[in-house]
């Protein structure tokens, strides 16, 4: 049984909605009625409704502001807006809030009950997903380890927002918003032995402190919640580590100060300062604080130009300081982290495949020139996949659609395919494209394909026929016509024009 809160400043509306919920709809009960936004907030805190019917025009704070306030505490709560006027500006403001539906008064009984049925289907699906996720986490130690590792790797480079942190805090039963990061590096041991020593260290630390841990850059990373005094904590931890490994093993440790959830990465950076000075992996010391900063810079970039100079310096340093095959392996790790960062920032639980795979693509490169061409195109794809959502604050549905297109443009995509992936109707998704991107679905898809085609042409490694296939066109002649329509010249002339410009 789902609980419904009805918010409206007109008593007849409250009574009418309440009657239909209680007597004409299955699976719902009225948990409260409110005449204003302030009453709604108070009732929601007391009764925790699953669904809220919210009037927009009310005395005091209006319906939209009330929704914003409630979403801070209850991000899963479902909202249906109602108003006496069909105002496009209000509907547009409501879309970024994730409002489930928008009803214009007078609302017919059929429309109200249909909305309830749709809301119940949505709530049932969410409940099933949450139950399945909880069962998987509780029933599988592997899932727990996976969640733990993902959380810790995320916390090493980026500040968590409140929603992310509340989820992890509940999942791992953490009782503090502060935590320290502790790193242990063991030198002179085989990989299998090192993992065994790591397990023993974690077991010993767990006897004294609450902790989470994972393998990180060939080291052991330990997350310690609480406002613990740094010098004393490090003394205790170092003693535990020394007791847990043989005397001949060389030990290097680092401990960061306690930091809040939005800056755990700072504690990790502080710990790395101690350990990285002694880092001998691959014959080169890695400035991990600089790597973290580069990842943050890429995640905030609005275009390739914003991040490429810093990325280029990092890339050149990697290839200058390591053998080619080692440098490629290091860049596989870097781009894998970038893709993981992207998935997290877009909130995709089951993200679509991206148009490149770091391990497959990078290790197949044979020259530095091939690397430079691949890296520029891949970095642009990462930035452009995230940029529309960050820059324009697109509705989550449209952001997910954009991400899906960025990762699947080479397929025979239809609007219905993308709408199905986003769990919305094709007409609704089409409207979002028009309102927020000022383009139709097919126009946006074409622009993505043409941008990739340009880059492939400039790389000059594939014939035009293969490029057409690579960006989703089965007919090379049709591809050439579309390219000419978009760029004003055919692909062959575009390539020749670029060569002539380089000679000048």
* Pair 445, 413: CB distance under 8 Å: yes
In three-state secondary structure terms, 78 is strand
Q: What is the pLDDT of residue 283?
A: 44
DSSP states of 96-163 = GGT-SEEEESSPPHHHHHHHHHHHHHHHHHHHHHHHHHHHHHHH-HHHHHHHHHHHHHHHTTSPPPHH
Residue 72 exposure: Cα atoms within 13 Å on the Cβ side: 6
Q: What is the pLDDT of residue 253?
A: 93
In the chain, what are the helix, strand and coil shares in percent, each to the nearest 5? 65, 10, 25
pLDDT by 10s per residue, the chain, length 504: 889 999 998 888 899 999 999 999 888 999 999 998 889 998 988 888 999 998 887 878 888 888 888 887 788 889 988 877 655 555 556 556 667 888 888 888 899 999 999 999 888 888 777 766 655 544 444 556 777 887 887 787 777 888 889 888 888 889 899 999 999 999 888 878 888 999 999 999 999 999 999 887 678 999 999 998 999 999 999 999 999 999 889 999 999 999 999 889 889 878 877 776 554 444 445 566 677 778 878 877 777 777 878 888 888 888 877 778 778 878 888 888 887 777 666 554 444 455 567 877 888 888 888 888 788 888 887 887 766 545 445 677 887 788 788 778 888 889 998 988 888 888 889 988 888 878 899 998 998 888 888 877 876 667 888 888 888 888 889 999 998 888 788 888 886 776 555 555
Q: What is the pLDDT of residue 209?
A: 94
DSSP states of 199-214 = HHHHHHHHTTS--EEE
* Pair 386, 345: CB distance under 8 Å: yes
- Decide the pairing of beta strands 101-104 and 78-83: parallel
Domains of the chain, each with CATH number or no CATH: 2-137 (3.40.50.2300), 142-279 (3.30.70.600), 338-503 (1.10.10.60)
In three-state secondary structure terms, 411 is coil
Q: What is the pLDDT of residue 51?
A: 92
* Pair 43, 32: CB distance under 8 Å: yes
Which DSSP letter does residue 32 get? E
**Cα gap 469→452, rounded to integer Å:** 12
For residue 116, which of 50, 44, 68, 40 has the smallest C-alpha distance?
A: 50
Residue linked to tokens 């679905």: 441
**Cα gap 353→82, rounded to integer Å:** 39
Q: Measured in whole angstroms, how far is the alpha carbon of residue 3 from the centre of its chain?
A: 30
Q: What is the pLDDT of residue 415?
A: 92
Give the C-alpha distances (Å, rounded to integers) separating 352 from 225, 266, 295, 383.
34, 31, 21, 16
In terms of Cβ atoms closer than 10 Å to its own Cβ (0-12, 13-18, 19+), residue 467 is buried
Residues 6+ apart with CB under 8 A from 52: 4, 5, 6, 7, 40, 44, 67, 70, 77, 78, 79, 80
Which DSSP letter does residue 218 get? T
DSSP states of 447-492 = HHHHHHHHHHHHHT-S-HHHHHHHTT-S-HHHHHHHHHHHHSS-HH
**Cα gap 18→363, rounded to integer Å:** 63
0.85 surpassed by pTM: no
In terms of Cβ atoms closer than 10 Å to its own Cβ (0-12, 13-18, 19+), residue 502 is exposed
């Amino acid at each position: 049984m789902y609980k419904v809160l009805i918010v409206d400043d007109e008593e007849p509306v409250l009574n009418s909605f309440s009657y239909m919920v209680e007597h004409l709809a299955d699976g719902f009960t009225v948990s409260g009625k409110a005449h204003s936004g302030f009453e709604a907030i108070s009732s929601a805190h007391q009764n925790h409704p699953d669904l809220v019917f919210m009037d927009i025009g009310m005395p005091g704070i209006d319906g939209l502001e009330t929704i914003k306030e409630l979403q801070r505490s209850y991000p899963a709560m479902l909202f249906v807006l109602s108003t006496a006027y069909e105002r496009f500006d209000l509907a547009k403001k409501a879309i970024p809030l994730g409002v489930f539906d928008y009803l214009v008064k007078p609302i017919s009984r059929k429309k109200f009950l249909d909305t309830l049925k749709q809301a119940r289907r949505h709530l049932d699906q969410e409940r099933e997903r949450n139950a399945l996720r909880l069962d998987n986490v509780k029933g599988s130690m592997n899932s727990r380890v996976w969640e733990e590792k993902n959380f810790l790797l995320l916390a090493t480079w980026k500040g968590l927002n409140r929603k992310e942190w509340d989820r992890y805090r509940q999942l791992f039963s953490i009782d503090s918003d502060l935590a320290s990061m502790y790193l242990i590096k063991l030198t002179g041991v085989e990989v299998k032995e090192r993992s065994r020593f790591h397990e023993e260290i974690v077991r010993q630390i767990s006897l004294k402190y609450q902790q989470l841990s994972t393998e990180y850059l060939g080291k052991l990373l330990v997350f310690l919640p609480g406002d613990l005094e740094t010098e004393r904590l490090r003394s205790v931890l170092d003693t535990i580590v020394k007791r847990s490994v043989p005397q001949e093993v060389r030990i290097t440790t680092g401990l960061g100060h306690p930091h809040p959830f939005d800056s755990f990465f700072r504690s990790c950076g502080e710990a790395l300062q101690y350990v990285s000075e002694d880092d001998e992996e691959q014959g080169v010391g890695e400035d991990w604080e600089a790597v973290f900063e580069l990842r943050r810079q890429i995640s905030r970039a609005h275009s390739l130009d914003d991040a490429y100079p810093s990325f280029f310096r990092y890339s050149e340093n990697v290839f200058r300081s390591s053998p080619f095959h080692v440098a490629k392996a290091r860049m596989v790790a870097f781009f894998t982290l970038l893709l993981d960062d992207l998935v997290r920032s877009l909130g995709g639980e089951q993200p679509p495949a991206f148009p490149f795979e770091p391990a497959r693509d990078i290790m197949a490169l044979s020259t530095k020139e091939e690397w430079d061409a691949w890296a520029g195109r891949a970095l642009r794809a990462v930035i452009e996949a995230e940029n529309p959502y960050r820059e324009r604050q697109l509705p989550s549905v449209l952001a997910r659609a954009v991400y899906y297109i960025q990762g699947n443009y080479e397929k025979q995509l239809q609007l219905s395919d993308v709408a199905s992936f986003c769990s919305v109707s094709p007409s609704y998704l089409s409207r979002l494209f028009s309102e927020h991107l000022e383009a139709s679905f097919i126009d946006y898809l074409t622009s993505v394909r043409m941008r990739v085609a340009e880059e492939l042409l400039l790389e000059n490694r594939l014939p035009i026929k293969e490029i057409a296939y690579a960006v989703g066109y089965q007919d090379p002649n049709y591809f050439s016509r579309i390219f000419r329509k978009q760029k004003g010249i055919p692909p062959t002339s575009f390539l020749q024009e670029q060569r002539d410009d380089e000679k000048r």
